[in-house]
Structure 1
Amino acid sequence: MASDNAGTTGGQQLSKSLGTVQLWGIAVGLVISGEYFGWSYGWGTAGTLGFLIAAAFVAVMYTTFIFSFTELTTMIPHAGGPFAYARAGLGETGALFAGLATLIEFVFATPAIALAIGAYLNVQFPDISPKAAAVCAYLVFMTLNILGVSIAATFELVVTVIAIGELLVFMGVVAPGFEWSNFTAGGWMGQDSFSFAGIPAIFAAIPFAIWFFLAIEGVAMAAEEARDPKRSIPRAYIAGILTLVVLALGVMIFAGGAGDWTKLSDINDPLPQAMRYIVGDNSGWLHMLVWLGLFGLVASFHGIIMGYSRQIFALARAGFLPPALAAVHPRFKTPHRAILTGGVIGIAAIFSDNLIVIGGQPLTANIVTMSVFGAIVMYVLSMWSLFNLRRTRPDAPRSYRAPLYPLFPLIALVFALICLVAMVLTNFLVAAIFVAIMVVGYLYFRLTGHHRAAAADAA
C-alpha cells in the first residue's frame, strides 16, 4: 500500500503558511459563487418547492460528508486530497479514479464561473464580451495563484468576507418586499400542488442543488500548506459548511419570494434580477449588488484554481499524470505548470460555449453537470476509503474522528449514490462523456507504470 506521503520529494515541497481563518476563507470562498448563480436552473427543472426538497436533501448529504471527510483530511494531510485518501484506502486504481474525478470537478467548474463573471460585467458594461472578460479573469487569477499561496489565500479571505456581506445585504434589501406566495406560486414544476409525477424533476434538479456546495472539499488540497492541519482543517471545514447551509437556504428563499421566480430560472445573474423586483432598475443597491456580486464569483474562481492546480500537482508528483506538471516554481513555491495547464483547458471550454450542445443544453449547463459528476464520484470513493481505513488501519493516529460513526459517513455515501444514479438517468450523454474521460485516464495509467515507479523511488 502506498505511503500517505508518497511522492513528497524534497524538490517538490509546498510552502506551509495557512492558518484556520485563511482555510475557512478558502472553504467558503471555493463554494460561494454557487450562491450567486447556477442554482436557479433548478427552479426551471423542479419549481421552487421541488428544488427546495432537492436542496435540503443535498444539504444533509454535504453536512454528513464534511463531518466525515474531515477525518481523512486530518489523518492524511496531503495536497492530493481525495486522491491520497483513496490511495491509502483503496489502492492505486481507486486513487486514479478519485484523482481524476476530483480533477474533473475542479477543472470543469472553473470555466462555468468565469463565464458568470463575464455575464455580471456585461450587465454593467454591455460592450464588454462576456467571453473576453472570462479569459481576462483566468489570466489575472492564474498569475495571482502563481505569485504565492499566502498572498492567494489572504486575497481569498478578503473577497470571501465581502461576498458574504453582500449576500446578507441582498437578503436585507429584498426582505421588505418578500412574499411567501411568490415563492410558492407554481412551486411544483409550475403547479400549485405536489404530484408524484414531479419526483423525476426533483431528481433532475439535484446537480443544481449540489452547485450550492460544490468544491468545499477543496480545502483538503491545501492541507500540505497548512501550518497545523490537524487542528485548523476541522475548524475550517465545520465552520465553512454551516456558513454555506445558512447562506444557500437564505438566498434561495429570499430570491424566490421577491417576485416572479420563473424569470430567474434560466439566467446567470438571478440575484440582481431578483433585487430589481424590489428596488427597480436605477437603484444604487442594484448597482452595488452587481459590483460586489463579482466578489463571490471571484472568490470561488480564484479558490478553485488553487484547488485544481494542487490536484494536478499531486497526481503528477505521484506519477499518475506527466511528471513535468509537478514542477514547483523555484521562487514562489507554487505549482505553476499545473495552474497554467488547468487554465488552458478552461479557456478552451469558454470558447466552446454555445458551439457545443449536448442533450439540448448549451455547454455552460453541461460543464456544470460534468463538474458535479466528478464531485459525486469522488464523494463515493472518499467515504468508501474512510470505511476501509477504519477497518484496515484502526490504530492509525486520528486527531479528529467522524461523529456518530458509522452513521454520518453511511448517510453521505448512500445519499451520494442516490444522487449519482439520479444524475445518470437524467443526464445520460454527459455521463457517457464523463466515463469516456475516465477510461482515457485509465489507459494512460496502464501505460505509464514507469512514472509511478520513478516517483516511488524519489520519495
Structure 2
Amino acid sequence: MSTQSTNQHAGVVSHHELRQTLGTWQLWGIAVGLVISGEYFGWSYGWAGAGTLGFVVTALFIAAMYTTFIFSFTELTTSIPHAGGPFAYARQAFGPVGGYIAGAATLVEFVFAPPAISLAIGAYLHVQFPGLDPKHAAMGAYLVFMALNIVGVQIAATFELVVTLLAIFELLVFMGVVAPGFQWANFVKGGWSGSDTFSVGSFTGMFAAIPFAIWFFLAIEGVAMAAEEAKNPKRSIPIAYVAGIITLVLLAIGVMVFAGAAGDWTKLANINDPLPQAMKFIVGDNSGWLHMLVWLGLFGLVASFHGIILGYSRQIFALARAGYLPEFLAKVHPRFKTPHRAIIAGGVVGIAAIYSDNLIQFGGQTLTANIVTMSVFGAIVMYIISMMSLFKLRKTQPNMERPFKAPLFPIFPAFALGAAVVRLGTMIYFNLLVAFVFAAFLALGYVYFLATRHQRDIAPADALLED
C-alpha cells in the first residue's frame, strides 16, 4: 500500500493493541486445546452411517487432508501473523470480496462450534447431576469462560495449556481402563459384513460421515488468530502447528479404536458422551473410574470451548477493525487489552443457538449434529479459500518473506485443496438443508458487506496487509 493511500485512511492500525505474550508451549496448548473436545464427543455420530471400519477410512482420509493443510496453512500464518487469520490471507490475495468470504466462513465455523461443545459439557454434567438441565449448564459455561477470556490472554492461554494437558492425560487413562476389555470383534461387528443396521453397505455412509471425521480436527487453524499475541510467531507457530496435528492424529485413532472395541459400539452412535458410555461396558455404572472420566473429561471439553472463544473473538475483532463488522466490536478492554465486546457478541449468538431447538433441529438430525455440520461447512469453505490464497500469493508476491514454506509444494496444498473441494461437494449432497442455511448466512452477510463499503473505506490502514 502506498504512503498516499495510507494517508487517506484514519491512520495506521496499531498491532500492539493486543498484548504479545504467548510462547510456543502456550500456542501448542491452544492448537491441541481448540480441537481436543472432538476426541470426547461428536465423532461417534459418524458411526451411525459409516460403521466403525467405514468411519476409519473416512477419518484417515480427513487426517491426511488436515496434515497437508496445516503444513501449508503454516506458511500463511507465519508470513502474515494477523488476528484475522484466514480473512487476512484471503484479503491480501483476492481483495475485499475474498476477505469477506474467508472471514464469514471462519465466523460460522468458530461461532457455531462452541454451542455444540457447551451442549456436550451440559451432557457430561447431567451424568453427574441428573436434575441439571444440560442447556442451562451450557449457558453457564459460556458465562464463565467468556469472563475468563476477558480477564487477559496470558491467563487464558495458561489455563488453556493446563486443561489441555489434563485432557490428554484423561484420554490416555480412558484407553488404559478399557484396554482389558478390548476385543477387536466388537470393533468390526457389522463393519463390512452387513450383519446389522449400522454396517457399511456402500461408500455412501463413509461420505455422509465426513462432518464427524472433520470434528476430530476442526479449529486447529485457530492458532492463526492468536498470531498477533505471540512473542515470536515466525518460530513458535510452526512448532505449535506441527506438534499439534501429530498429537491430535494419534489421540483420534486411539480413542476411536478403544471406544469401539469396548463393547456394543452401536449404542455409542448419536450420543453426546460416548466415552463414559464406552467405559460403562468395562467398569459398570457405579465405578469410580467412570466418575473420574466424567469430571476429568470435562477438561477436554473446556479446553476446546475456552480456546474457540479466544478464536472467534479475535476473528470478530479483526473483521470489525477492518470495517467488515461494526466498528464498536473492535474495541479492546482498557485494562485487560482483550476484545471484550467481540467475546460477548459471539457468546450471545452461541447461547441463542443452544436454545434454538425448533430452528436448528431439522433434517432428521439432532441439535448437536446440525450445529456440528454448520460449523464444518464454514471450516471447509475457509480451507478452500486459504489454499487458493497460498497459490495466489506464491504467484503475485514471490518475494514475500516466508519464514516457513509449505513442504512438497505444490503437492501438499494441492492435495488439501482438492480434498476440501470433494468434501464440500459431498457435504452439500448429504446435508442439503444445512447447506441452504449456511448459504443463506453468507448471502445475508454479503448484503451487509455491499451496504457498508464506506465503513471499510474509513477503517485504519492495516500495516500487516500493505499492497
**TM-score relative to the length of structure 2:** 0.95
Q: Does 1:180 align with 2:180?
A: no
Instruction: State the match for 2:236 in structure 1.
Output: 232
Q: Does 1:98 align with 2:105?
A: no
**Contact 1:272/1:286 (<8 A) preserved:** yes
Q: Does 1:434 align with 2:430?
A: no
Instruction: State the match for 2:273 in structure 1.
Output: 269
Q: Structure 1 residues 182 and 106 mapped into 2: Cα distance closer, same or farther (>3 Å)?
A: same
Q: Distance in 2 between matches of 1:24 and 1:307?
A: 14
1:273-299 alpha-carbon deviations (Å, 9 max, x no partner): 101111111211111001000000000
Aligned pairs (5 A) from 1:415-426 = 415-426=419-430
Q: Which amino acid aligns with 1:268?
A: N
- After TM superposition, what 4+ stretches of structure 1 lie above 3 angstroms from structure 2? 5-8, 188-197, 456-459
1:182-234 alpha-carbon deviations (Å, 9 max, x no partner): 00001249548999952111100000000000000000000000000000000
The alignment-based identity, stated in percent, is 71
Deviation of residue 456 (structure 1)? 3.9
Instruction: State the match for 2:373 in structure 1.
Output: 369
Q: Distance in 1 between matches of 2:24 and 2:438?
A: 35
Q: Distance in 2 between matches of 1:11 and 1:194?
A: 52
Q: Distance in 2 between matches of 1:380 and 1:362?
A: 27
Deviation of residue 266 (structure 1)? 1.1
Q: Which amino acid aligns with 2:444?
A: V
Instruction: State the match for 1:395 in structure 2.
Output: 399
**Contact 2:46/2:213 (<8 A) preserved:** yes
1:119-168 alpha-carbon deviations (Å, 9 max, x no partner): 00000010111011000000000000000000000000000000000000
Q: Distance in 1 between matches of 2:224 and 2:74?
A: 8
2:385 partner SS: helix
Instruction: State the match for 1:138 in structure 2.
Output: 142
1:444 partner SS: helix
Q: Does 1:117 align with 2:132?
A: no
Q: Structure 1 residues 235 and 269 mapped into 2: Cα distance closer, same or farther (>3 Å)?
A: same
Instruction: State the match for 2:81 in structure 1.
Output: 77
Q: Distance in 1 between matches of 2:226 and 2:2?
A: 20
Deviation of residue 244 (structure 1)? 0.0
1:336-387 alpha-carbon deviations (Å, 9 max, x no partner): 0000000000000111136643212232211110000000000000000000
Q: Structure 1 residues 31 and 2 mapped into 2: Cα distance closer, same or farther (>3 Å)?
A: farther
1:71 partner SS: helix
Q: Structure 1 residues 227 and 176 mapped into 2: Cα distance closer, same or farther (>3 Å)?
A: same
1:403 partner SS: coil
Aligned pairs (5 A) from 1:62-73 = 62-73=66-77
Q: Structure 1 residues 191 and 378 mapped into 2: Cα distance closer, same or farther (>3 Å)?
A: farther
Q: Distance in 2 between matches of 1:194 and 1:335?
A: 46
Q: Which amino acid aligns with 1:315?
A: L
Given the alignment, which residue of 237, 242, 249 partners 2:246?
242
2:65 partner SS: helix
Structure 1: unaligned runs, 5 residues or longer = none
How many pairs were matched up? 458
Q: Which amino acid aligns with 2:87?
A: F
**TM-score relative to the length of structure 1:** 0.97
1:121 partner SS: helix
Instruction: State the match for 1:48 in structure 2.
Output: 52
Q: Structure 1 residues 189 and 123 mapped into 2: Cα distance closer, same or farther (>3 Å)?
A: farther
Structure 2: unaligned runs, 5 residues or longer = none
